[in-house]
Structure 1
Amino acid sequence: MLNRGDLTDEEWAVLEPLLPRSDNRCGRWRDHRQVINGIIHRLSTGCQWRQLPARFGPWQTIHKRHMLWSADGTWERLLQHVQAVADTVGEIDWNINVDSTSIRAHQHAAGAPTDPPPAPPGLKGGPTKISSHARAHTPVPGGGGAADEALGRSRGGLTTKIHLSADGRCRPLSLVLTPGQRADCTQFEAVMDKIRVPRLGAGRPRRLPDSVGADKAYSNSLIRSYLRRRGIRHVIPEKSDSRTARRRRGSDGGRPPGFDKTRYKARNTVERAINKIKQFRAVATRYDKRRYVYLGTVTAAALLIWLRS
């Protein structure tokens, strides 16, 4: 069972050097470790921010810090650093797998204003820039309302879909949010393009895996062409209708795609990564109105999975 308690001394030693430091303009930050422990408690229990235990400090501080770090990319940078450390010592299995999972959104997650939100205030009320990571998950004026906030409607109500890739050790490598009705195959390239593990020394970030596994939802010519252009081996089963159409064309239909049954069995690693990330109740049910804030919630949960794997 994944440990969802407070940060240990070893985990804090990894994160502390990477966190923002106070300066004369903004004054002192409330203790980062105390605030992160409050965020972890909310991730684990899914409680309302105002119901956080008093030992974590003012709930408003914890809420604003989470919004700020979701907007400026702090959670993403922490996750990438932990991934970079693991890659340096060879602890990442680059035979990755891709899948998605639907998340039920609480009714309070709806109703965000249709105009883009102002940047979360800084420590003393000053604005902060929204990172490109969060900007991609922030609505634009005149957009599609709930769809811009990654909220889709289905028979079960409001849903959000998390598209992710996971390494061979069941840890999320990249995350993309869409409305719940969005097809998996439409987000494959976005998920692959989000893979970015920096080097601790010189060199470009690693973006290409050794191989990719996915189910039939990703079986189409566009995805296979994308993987071939990038020289990535892949194991994606062929749909029965595609197989029938190819055989009907005879020699013009081309050769069947290669399929390694043994490699395909390892696709369960992404299912297990989804199971891990859904152990956090604030992820398993979406309570955040804003897409970029919920993305920060999911990214913070992925960070804990990496720290504690």
Structure 2
Amino acid sequence: MKPASVSHARGVAGMLVVTLMWSIAGVVTRFLDSAQSFEVTFWRSFFTALSLGAYYAAAHGRDTLRLLAAGGKALWLSGLMWSVMFTCFMVAITLTTVANVLVTMSVAPLFTALLARFMLGHPVKPRTWLAIVVAGAGIAWMYGANVSGDSRHVLGTLVALGVPVAGAINWNILQKNGTQVDLVPALLIGALISSAVTLPLSMPFQASMHDIGLLAALGVFQLAIPCTLSVRLARLLPAPEISLLALLEIVFGIAWAWLGANEQPAPQVLAGGALVLGTLALNEAWGLRRRA
């Protein structure tokens, strides 16, 4: 392989790990005892900020503040988008089903590709458009039978829409500025904003120590580590491709729910998941062949 192909392969492998770690949020929240929507969001964001803050303090010491100040507009805009994603996802998942949230997030590749065309001037390859459409259809097929018209579920779905919109903006910011500015500190900014916004809405606290332990694990292993990896990987992969690979979170989420919460998926879920996986595999295989 040529060096570019090696870097691309590493990027794809890295995104597989990232999506696997992202996908545990839905099943873990189903094991919470008493924490409510905003409190769930606060504790997860708090422990994300705590772990990232500890990392930066150990790695950079007093230079942490300088890194935050040196990032400029791109860093703070990316941080704002992370805060929207962190907050909307957890609030939505406590209002509606995991299925409704995930099917809403499936529009992210389309938003990302459209923004990449206008923000970065990147033409979207026909195979990527086709993969987006087919993968989106597969996800809609997976969850079509589960989407509810209940007002609470509708509200949760509308809140969840903030995730793909903010995600599309963020992937393109990372793509445009990630080589000039270290945008990993944006994760810390996003977690701090999310914590600050949801803290007053979380009072009085109702979470048990069991809940806090689970949410601490999510903050570290479902947000801090994989999100940091994803920012680094944005230097290796085009924004639409990263967003497309991120759809694997949905497929992995089904597996976690099946194994961890005994939620056996319906036949259409299995068929739709196979369609998504097959589409992603073909898209990546074709891209690797062209680059080779």
TM-score, scaled relative to structure 1: 0.28
More helix by share: 2
**Structure number with higher relative contact order (C-alpha < 8 Å, ≥ 6 residues apart):** 2
More strand by share: 1
